[in-house]
C-alpha cells in the first residue's frame, strides 16, 4: 500500500468482506505505520524541532537526563510526561491529541474534569507552570 491517510485506510478496511482481505490489509499495515510512534511524531512537528534540548527541559519541567532518554527512545513516557512535553513545546490541541493517540495514552476527553482543564490550558497557550496553577486552582492533580 502507498502512504494513505487514516480515513482512506478506514474505507479500505470497511470494504474488507472476509478474512483474506483483512489479512492482506494487515500484511501491509506495518509498512504504513513505520516511524509513527508518539515521540517520532512529536519530534517531527515544528514546535519541538525549533527548540533546543535545554529549552525543552526548562519549558516541560522534565529532568534533563530523563527527557533525553525519552527522546532517544530508551524510555517510554507516561501520559503525564507526554502532556508536559506537548505543553512545553507549545503544541496545539490537535497535535497533542495525535501524540497521545499514537502513544495509546488516551486522548484528552472533554467529559473528564481534569482533561477539560487541560484542553482549556492548551487552547489558551498556557505553559506548564500556568497549567499546573490552573489545575491546582480547580483542585485537580498537577501534571506528573
Give, for all 144 residues of the chain, the pLDDT tens digit: 455 666 777 788 888 888 888 888 887 764 545 455 788 888 888 888 888 888 999 999 999 999 999 988 899 999 999 999 999 999 999 999 999 999 999 999 999 999 999 999 999 999 999 999 999 999 999 998
The answer on 52 and 89 residing in a single domain is yes
The answer on 113 and 125 residing in a single domain is yes
Residue 143 lies inside a defined structural domain of this protein: no
Domain with 9, as residue range(s), is: 1-34
Q: How many domains does the chain have?
A: 2
What's residue 9's pLDDT? 76
Helix (H, G, I), strand (E, B) or coil at 111: coil
Residue 92 lies inside a defined structural domain of this protein: yes
Predicted TM-score (pTM) of the model is 0.75
Amino acid at each position: 500500500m502507498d502512504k494513505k491517510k487514516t480515513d482512506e485506510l478506514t474505507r479500505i478496511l470497511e470494504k474488507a468482506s472476509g478474512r483474506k482481505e483483512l489479512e492482506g490489509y494487515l500484511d501491509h499495515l506495518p509498512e504504513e505505520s513505520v516511524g509513527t510512534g508518539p515521540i517520532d511524531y512529536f519530534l517531527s512537528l515544528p514546535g519541538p524541532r525549533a527548540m533546543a534540548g535545554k529549552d525543552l527541559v526548562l519549558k516541560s519541567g522534565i529532568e534533563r537526563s530523563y527527557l533525553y532518554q525519552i527522546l532517544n527512545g530508551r524510555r517510554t513516557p507516561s501520559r503525564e510526561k507526554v502532556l508536559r512535553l506537548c505543553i512545553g513545546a507549545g503544541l496545539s490541541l490537535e497535535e497533542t491529541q495525535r501524540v497521545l493517540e499514537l502513544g495509546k495514552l488516551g486522548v484528552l476527553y472533554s467529559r473528564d474534569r481534569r482533561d477539560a482543564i487541560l484542553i482549556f490550558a492548551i487552547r489558551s497557550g498556557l505553559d506548564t507552570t500556568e497549567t499546573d496553577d490552573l489545575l491546582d486552582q480547580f483542585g485537580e492533580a498537577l501534571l506528573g
